[in-house]
Amino acid sequence: MVQPIPTSTSGTTVRLPKPTQSFQPLEYWKPPKSVRHHVRSKSSGIFSTKKEGRLRPPSTTITEIQDPEKHDLDIQRQELEAEEFFESKSKGNTDMSFATIGEMAGRRKIFANDQVRGYKHVDSYRQPWWDVKSWGKKAWMILVGSVVVVLIIVIAVAVTVSRYNRYPNYSTQSYSLSETFAGESFFSQNFDYYTGYDPTNGHVHYVPAEQASSLNLTYASPSSAVLRVDTSVSNTSVPNASTGRFSVRVTSKKQYGLNSLFLFDVKHSPIGCGTWPALWLTDPHNWPENGEIDVMEAVNVVDKSFNQMTLHTSAGCTMKHVKRQQTGKVIANTCVNTTNANGGCGVEAGKDTTFGNTFNSNGGGVLALELREAGIRMWQFTRDKLPAGLWTSPDPNSWGTATADFPNTECNIGNHFRNQSIVANIDLCGDWAGSKKDYGKNCPGTCVDHVSNNNMAFTNAYWEFGNFSVFSVK
């Protein structure tokens, strides 16, 4: 409400003195001017007021504030008073003195040093990052690209894990006996004698059946069959062993395929420097296309050693990154004959008593081989731990974990292993036993000199077998 203009007693108007503080009546009072935004001058380090594209000289600099703490309190007090005024006005209360109104109208100023107190003046409202409606093309491209990369990584990891965890189903198969190699006809009825050049470059002469019989290199009794290295030829005899020592390699007349189970009763394994004995399966006329399975093999055994179980194949067969269930130790994962000097993908039987003197003194053992589409599995049993029903009703799934496991995960067994013949031989020197690396570990001189000149060093270089039994799926 506007107060009436005072008059004197004589009726004349009394002029009031001008107030010491300028103000306007309430009806004409205007709120404080809008906030002017401030920027820091790069050159002077002070705040300037920017309006309508022109820079105005700052009214207050940072250096003018003598007591920042007192200044902060003043600003807070001014803000509270302004809030009280507007709150009172909103309630319809206009009964306030002109002095109070003027004081409040002129007191609130926007100082250039508001930045010191933490005020941040923004020209526009920034949308929150989660508001997808405000996203631009670049943001969407980044999002889509990130999602694609994450999906590729997730799929790659999932495929790798799934691939590694794949394992074939070795379901139980019922086997029945197909044939047995045993007795005095062990060699004559079941095997052919190989007489050609040694394909592994051995210092050896493989002899035919008649010569093997006359030199007593192969013979059989009702309970066992023996295959040995010749000890009759010396460095002074005629003929001598300067071009190689006599030995034997026999190959079964019959060939076998998938769904076959083999049991090999081995009573004695050959030992001696320069020896390379092996009990294995292959297709002699199509190697390595039809594969090779080494059941029992070692070189230069002078005491005890590990038996090695190995596959050799053509391209397309590997055990790398393949889940396997076996007790043996992996030697190599690449089965292809053109890699690793035709070392194959081998497994070392769990103990160093699986070949050599300790194996022999314990009466040998039984080797089992299962050849099927799901994979190839091999076991080596000691004489005192033969599974029940081994010879009459064999069940590989009841024998426990295999010594060597070669699943079909990354190797098509049916394509890589066909027409398998049983082979037993004792090579001398050659690519493996005669190499400097392997021969020099435990043996004297050179392999060729040792084999040529030390005939009596091979008295224990012989295989002794009980019987071989072959089973097929019923």
- As annotated, the active-site residues are 292, 297
The SS3 assignment for 465 reads: strand
Strand ranges (DSSP E) for 221-307? 225-228, 245-247, 249-252, 260-268, 275-282, 292-297, 304-305
**What is the DSSP-derived secondary structure letter of residue 129?**
T
Burial of 258 (0-12, 13-18, 19+ CB in 10 A): middle
> Token pair of 360, please?
């022999």
Torsional sign, CA 338, 256, 418, 400: negative
Q: φ and ψ at 342, to 5 degrees?
A: 60, 35
**What is the DSSP-derived secondary structure letter of residue 384?**
G
H or E stretch including 329? Answer: strand 329-330
Neighbours of 231 (CB within 10 A): 20
Instruction: Tell me the residue type at 453.
Output: N
Distance between CA atoms of residues 472 and 221, nearest Å: 27
Query: DSSP string spanning 186-233?
Result: HHHHHEEE--S--TT-BSEEE--HHHHHHTTSEEE-SS-EEEE---S-
The SS3 assignment for 447 reads: helix
CA angle 279, 167, 342 (to 5 degrees): 35
Burial of 214 (0-12, 13-18, 19+ CB in 10 A): exposed
> Residue 154 contacts by C-beta under 8 Å, 6 or more apart in sequence?
none
Place of tokens 């394909």: 199
Distance between CA atoms of residues 131 and 44, nearest Å: 39
The SS3 assignment for 27 reads: helix
> Residue 80 contacts by C-beta under 8 Å, 6 or more apart in sequence?
none
Distance between CA atoms of residues 278 and 344, nearest Å: 14
